[in-house]
Structures are given as structure tokens and as C-alpha cells.
Amino acid sequence: MSLALDQAQLALTTADVPIGAVVLGPDGEILGVGRNEREAHGDPTAHAEVVAIRAAAAKLGEWRLSGCTLVVTLEPCTMCAGAIVLARIPRVVFGAWDEKAGAAGSVFDVLRERRLNHWVEVFPGVREDECAALLRDFFSIHR
């Protein structure tokens, strides 16, 4: 989670919402990192999770990220949860809950939806206070 928090901090340099993500391989190797880059690139799909998943797939030369773990500072949204399922990532670890748009148990539970072809093990609340504080601080300035 430290690496994901570092990425979240870097998102602040481009006025993006401070969310960071890391994809770890089965052996713990860092395969991809990402941070929100929507403002930086004008891309609505440039969420931290998607950026990290793309980097990991490029490094492996394979779209299936079986055996990998995604660590992210905020509960994934529905778009990111869909990308996680499609990438066949078996585990997601996240920090803060997203009570407005979360799709890993708060608003929706896409990652554990039994009607889909892949299910994800979810480990919520890791360093939750730190992850939530970073977002609270950001939005207190921008609202």
C-alpha cells in the first residue's frame, strides 16, 4: 500500500484526484503502477487501476493477469471493477471505501458478482485512515 500511496501523492502534481494503484505479480514483483491521470491526459478512463493494469499487461505481454494482486488506495469504481474482472486479477486490496461510487462492496459488488465469469477476492480497509485522509484533504481544497 505504501507504493500505491506514493503514486497517489504523484497524482497531485497534475491536479488529479490522489488515487494510486500497483499490480504485483505472484512472486511480489511490481508489474505496473498507476495514478489518476484524467486531468493530466484529458482521458476519462485514466483511473489509477486502469493505468496500472495496462502497465502490468504490457510488461507481461499478456492481458490475463492471473495470479496478480491489485493494490489501490480507494475502492474501485464500476469501470475499474470491470477492468479487474476482464484482466482476471484474482485479488484486490484497497484502502478507503468509496460510499458514492464503489464497486467492491459499498454501492455495488461487481468484483464478487456470481453471474460474471471471474470472481475476485477482496481485502478492504488496508491503511484506510491514511488513504481516506489524502482524499479528504484534496477535496477540502477543491470544493
The domain ranges of the chain are: 1-133
Instruction: Give the pLDDT of residue 142.
Output: 78
pLDDT tens digit sequence for 23-45: 999 999 999 999 999 999 999 99
Q: Is 68 annotated as belonging to a binding site?
A: no
What pLDDT does residue 126 have? Answer: 98
The one catalytic residue in 39, 49, 128, 130 is: 49
User: Any binding-site annotation on 142?
Assistant: no
- 49 catalytic, yes or no? yes
Is a pLDDT exceeding 80 seen at residue 59?
Answer: yes
CATH classification (class only), 1-133: alpha beta
Q: pLDDT per residue over 107-128, tens digit each? A: 999 999 999 999 999 999 999 9
Average pLDDT over residues 117-140: 97
**Predicted structure pTM score:** 0.96
131 among the known binding-site residues? Answer: no
Q: Which residue intervals of 1-143 are DSSP H helices?
A: 2-11, 38-41, 48-60, 78-86, 128-142
Within 10 angstroms of residue 2's Cβ, the number of other Cβ atoms is 11
